[in-house]
Chain A
Amino acid sequence: MNSVAGINMARFVLLLLLQVVICNHIDFLGYINPYIYIIFIFLFPVREDRLVLLFVSFLLGLTIDMFSDSGGVHAAAAVSLAYARPILLKSAFGMLYEHQSIKFSSTDIGSLMTYISLGTIIHHTILFSLEIFNISNILLILKKTLFSSIFTIILSVLIIILFSRNRK
């Protein structure tokens, strides 16, 4: 039990630093950045209390906001993603989720991709809508959401596969 908490705390700090030190400054083609800190929310233990997840996601988002001077947009997007997570898990993994026996390190790639893509699109849509906060710029919102989502999904899947221990 303790080691699970330890791993998650280390993941929190590492992803936070990775996000603010490297990923916020990539600016590929001028505006495309990956937001890989949401891997923390994706990989949070399924059996853990949902209230804890909501609260920790809020904290993570707020810290990112502090580093990037963006008000509360990351906090809002992260909390929404954390709240929507059970639905995503159910639609991506089906029966595995109902039996509470998902191991992210040993699920098949297809389900993992579905899970991460859906989550990333929800998160990025809320993030950019709130950041730009102007309905007349809807094209800009969609453009940023699309390109950043692609970037985030690719990086997230790669990182999860790379760091899972017992994948063949």
Chain B
Amino acid sequence: MQQIFNFVIRNKTFLLFLLLFSIALALTIQSHSYHRSKFINSANFLTGGVYGTMNSVDQYFDLKTTNAILSEENRQLREQLFNLKGTKDSSYIDSSYSKGHYKITIADLYKNSYSSTNNILTINKGKNDSIKQDFGVMTSNGIIGIIDNTSKNYATVLSILNVKSQINAKIKSTNHIGSLTWDGKSPVYVQLEDVSQFAPIKVGDTIETGGESSIFPKGIGIGTITSFETDISGDTYKIQVKLFNDMTNIGTVYILENLDRAEIQSLENKANE
């Protein structure tokens, strides 16, 4: 017994180092292997407060660009509105929102991140604004990511620039679907994988959300094809997609809540049983 005590006292520095290092390593592995990092995340009172103060200063330097983005969006919406009026009598159906009803919440991005391989963003809406896990997040240009953790007033977003992210997407001109992933290299390009070899693909085609998951509605723009190659297996394409969004400069985001989500999920669960 005496010897054990002596051993512990003699090596106390090394043992403490080993303990702390193992805790850190466990947290790291947990954040890599599970979809959600539960304990250490930036959706809390302390980090939210600091990022909030920073954001309120930061916003002033960006007012001009924000204005330009808003007026561009206004123009787009107005264009859609006028086009809609013109086609009301014909059998035109707006396919983008036909699947379900979506509730939209506006939020400010408090922390942007694009330089690591596991990018996670922080926004200033949380449980108090009835934001929950797995809501979609987008800007006027295209999708940003999916809500990951939420606290009372803040939430973290799993960015599409995260090697863990996988989002259902399709080619606009045809209906061939694939899954959108990121290889961790450039914040401008993402990859669309598992697209069937039979799909006719051209450089410059638009990629949009597929609407297969209940997170995003069908038809939100993602980016354009810049190049493509056949996968090693030979049956699928791997496509490089240039994002519409400038992921390095995001101010205001929209959070999408699918009001029919519970219904869709219960239906799918029933089919799986």
Contact = CB atoms under 8 A, between A and B. Distances in A.
Interface string B171-213: 0000000000000111100000000000000000000000000
Interface in B113-163: 113-118, 120, 122, 156
A68 interface: yes
Interface of B: 12-14, 16-17, 20-21, 23-32, 37, 40-42, 44, 46-47, 50-51, 54, 111-118, 120, 122, 156, 184-187, 248
Interface in A1-59: 17, 20-21, 24-25, 27, 30-33, 50-51, 54-55, 58
B31 A71 contact: yes
Contacts of B20: 54-55, 58, 75, 79
B13 A65 contact: no
A69 B113 contact: yes
B270 to A, nearest CB: 36
B156 A76 contact: no
A125 to B, nearest CB: 14
B23 to A, nearest CB: 7
B248 A27 contact: yes
B113 A71 contact: no
A66 B28 contact: no
Interface of A: 17, 20-21, 24-25, 27, 30-33, 50-51, 54-55, 58, 61-62, 65-73, 75-76, 79-80, 82-83, 130-133, 137, 140
A17 B40 contact: no
Contacts of B118: 69-71, 131
Given A31-B115, A69-B42, A61 B12 contact: no
Given A80-B21, A130-B28, A137-B184, A27 B46 contact: no
